[in-house]
Amino acid sequence: MTDADGEATETSMWLDFALDCQYINEKEHNDLQEKYNEIGRMLNSMALNPEKFTPKTPTATATATNLKQ
């Protein structure tokens, strides 16, 4: 999760760079920045509530393993 958060932060910096270099316009920057903000909120939620994103029972883990085979 820490790596994902760091990568998302780096993306925000590159969005600012792209705007400053006029590779994208302000509307594109704002749209992409809002998507970045939403991803940041999702990552934060996952980090604060990891139990919501892990298998609930051993059966769920076994089923997921069987599906991969």
- Gyration radius of the chain's alpha carbons: 18
In this prediction, residue 9 has a pLDDT band, given cuts at 50, 70 and 90, of confident
Mean pLDDT of 35-43: 91
Identify the pLDDT of residue 20: 98
Structure tokens at 37: 């903000």
Distance of CA 39 to the CA centre of its chain: 4
pTM: 0.66
